[in-house]
Each structure stands twice: as structure tokens, then as C-alpha cells.
Structure 1
Amino acid sequence: MENNICHRCGKPIYELIDFGSNQDGTINTDYCHNCYVNGIFVDHGISLEEKIEKNIPPRKNNQTMNKGKKNTITV
């Protein structure tokens, strides 16, 4: 699967289940499931920062991102 990024929040989308859905139930490859469900944008009235805080879990203290390796976490 190619690298996809939500056009609304910027979240990387890696799995098919993470894509948003259109009103007819088909997958929408422009948005993630946290932003677009059944053809409707969700979470109206919140800022991007609030959306990120709500949808992306915080890292544990012992997790760091590996530099030079894309999207890997060392525990």
C-alpha cells in the first residue's frame, strides 16, 4: 500500500481499516476514519491540535522514534 496521509488532519494511514468511509460504505482514500465517517466530517468545531490530542495516543516514556527508520518505534 502506498503512503497515504489524511488530507484533513495529516495522520499517516497504513491499514485499510484506517481510511474514512463514504456514504455508500466505500472506502475514502483522502481522509482517515477519525475525520470522515459515512460521508460526513466528524468533530466539527475543534481545532487541529484538539483533534490530534483526541485521536493520537501519547507515547509511553520509554518509547522513542528511531531516526533514519520511517515509522518505527523502539520500546
Structure 2
Amino acid sequence: METLVCQSCSMPMAGEALSGTERDGAKSRDYCMYCYKNGEFEQPGATLEDMIEICVPHLIEEGRTEEEARALLESTLPHLKRWNSTLMNRKEKRS
């Protein structure tokens, strides 16, 4: 069985119960139930940095240190579907 990863927060979505929903009620293959409901993001104005702050406490609960959690999120989230354009914009600004 394929385990999907939320393309907003990187949470593993093992099983449909953790999947977000589209406007028509269909389960999302891209986003988890905490990030996406009824076809919209739960935190529509969140920045990449905001999402890192939201996720750090959850990784600490799982046993990581704050430094480990931040390093993991900072290296992973920018490459996810929701944040990919943010990463591209950062690279363009540096050029």
C-alpha cells in the first residue's frame, strides 16, 4: 500500500482517514485533513515559515529536538507541492 505524504506539512497519510477533502467531498491525494478541507487550505495565508512553526511542536512530540525538527522541515517543506513556487521565487531573487 502506497503511503502518501501531505504536500503542505509533510505528514505521512497512511490511509484515507488522514486525507483532506476536495469541494465535492472526494479525498485529496495531495493534502492531509489538517491542512486541507473542502478544497481549501486551513491556513490559506500561511507562509512556508509559518508552516515550519506550526509543524515544529508536532515533531518535538515525536521525540525530535527543536533543532532536528527545524532542520528536517527546512530541508523538506520547500520541495513540497504547496511550497515549491516559494522555493523557485527564492532562487530567482538570489540570482
The counterpart of 1:49, out of the listed 47, 52, 70, is 52
RMSD: 1.9
Where is the helix percentage greater, Structure 1 or Structure 2?
Answer: 2
| Superposition map of 1:1-75 within 5 A | 1-46=1-46, 47-53=50-56, 56=58, 58-59=61-62
Query: 2:91 maps to which residue?
Result: none
Q: How many residues align?
A: 59
Partners of 2:43 and 2:15 in 1: how far apart?
22
Q: Where in structure 1 do 4 or more consecutive aligned residues deviate above 3 Å?
A: none
Q: TM-score, normalised by structure 2?
A: 0.53
Q: TM-score, normalised by structure 1?
A: 0.65
Where is the strand percentage greater, Structure 1 or Structure 2?
Answer: 1
Greater relative CO (CA pairs within 8 A, separation 6+):
2
Identity of aligned residues (%): 31
Paired AA for residue 44 in structure 2: H
